[in-house]
Amino acid sequence: MKSTGGSDDAKRRAGEAAADAVDAGMVIGLGTGSTTAYAIEALGEAVDNGLDIVGVPTSFGARQRAIDCGIDLRGLDEVDGIDLAIDGADQLVRETGVCLKGGGAAHSREKLVASAAAELHLVVDDTKLTDTLDQPVPLEVLPDAHTVVADAVRSLEGEPTLRAAANKDGPVVTDNGNLVCDADFGRLDDPALLAKRLSAIPGVVEHGLFVDYTTAVSVGRSDDVSTTTY
């Protein structure tokens, strides 16, 4: 799992706060990443203590983690909707809940699960908070399309970078067999407009800008956690 800047204590507090909001009988979207891992762990402990839930994982990593924690799993096509999705974020505007995801290349299935969920509860440590999003936007891209998508990003005045794998020669390959282009647009003054433009590029499977999905955010710090609802 990629490691990110915040402290483990802060991530744990955020993850546990979201797990606390889970009730018996719920279908839970299980997000990807180091912060959501703490929520999955907490849910696993609750399951050991008798909580009856079903999880829908958003990635190979989330699935493995949930199996290790003893959570009963289903595919998205085997459930009749999702009550609550719990997931992390790479950068988040707390005032609006708009965020960037996809640092772990899982954003397409994360967005799919979030779109099927009645609620999306994000879990972050306080290093993720910002007033304005300004990190590159991850784009999951069909392999044949990467040069065409890069040209389209440049035509929107962005700077595309094909994400390289850390422990493999060549690019990152997603759980869906696609590539990732990180598109740097600098400050995102109008995330909703950019989200629409990125969705319209042929060859982009999904982008990591989440606008209008978030219903709650738990922000962990080393000594406390606070939750905002939208």
Ligand X SMILES: O=C[C@H](O)[C@H](O)[C@H](O)COP(=O)(O)O
Active-site residues: which are they? Answer: 110
Residues 6+ apart with CB under 8 A from 25: 52, 53
Contact between 87 and ligand X per CB under 6 A: yes
Which part of the chain contacts ligand X (CB under 6 A), choosing from 31-39, 63-71, 142-150, 176-184? 31-39
| Nearest alpha-carbon partner for 34 in 75, 82, 2, 80 | 2
**Could you tell me how many residues of this chain bind ligand X (CB under 6 A)?**
19
Q: How many CB atoms lie within 10 A of CB 18?
A: 29
- In angstroms, give the least distance from the CB of 24 to ligand X: 26
Task: Provide the CA 140 distance to its chain's centre, in angstroms.
Answer: 13
Dihedrals phi, psi of 125, to nearest 5 degrees: -90, 165
Contact between 101 and ligand X per CB under 6 A: yes
DSSP per-residue string spanning 163-219: PBPSSSSSB---TTS-EEEEEE-SS-S-HHHHHHHHHTSTTEEEESEE-S--SEEEE
Chosen residue from 29, 35, 82, 149 binding ligand X by CB under 6 A: 35
Q: Show the binding pattern over residues 139-178: x = contacts ligand X (CB under 6 A), - = does not.
A: ----------------------------------------
Select 33 or 57, whichever has its Cβ closest to ligand X.
Answer: 33
Select 50 or 177, whichever has its Cβ closest to ligand X.
Answer: 177
- Residues at the site binding ligand X, with contacts judged by CB under 6 A: 4, 31-36, 87-90, 101-107, 110
